[in-house]
Structure 1
């Protein structure tokens, strides 16, 4: 999903570059390349963080003041 997002941004930036002056066009195309590399550098889900490992011990209980 993130890959599609960056690919969509790259496409939109390229569309803007078509109507821009030469200096701005060059910068927009560089930006599109960066979006392409973010979106297509690895397979889908490669940038997502894995779930944490399940706990093997229960959390320490707290019995401080104010607790019932």
Structure 2
């Protein structure tokens, strides 16, 4: 999938070379977004915060209410 997005980014840059200034800017922005998607998922997303476990005193007891 990374190669797919990288190819789309390059294609957008190629089109931008022949486009008017407004379209060129839009195509280059699009290429930048495709480049971001082409990077491995681990490098673009922060890890979620670690889960915390409740204190063990909540679970200790006879199990009756």
CA distance in 1 between partners of 2:31 and 2:7 (Å): 10
Aligned to 2:21: 22
Runs (5+) with no aligned partner, structure 1: 44-68
The total of aligned residue pairs comes to 42
The structure with the greater share of residues assigned to helix is 2
TM-score normalised by L of structure 1: 0.58
Superposed CA offset, 1:12-34 (max 9, x none): 00000000000000000000000
Contiguous gaps of at least 5 residues in structure 2: 43-65
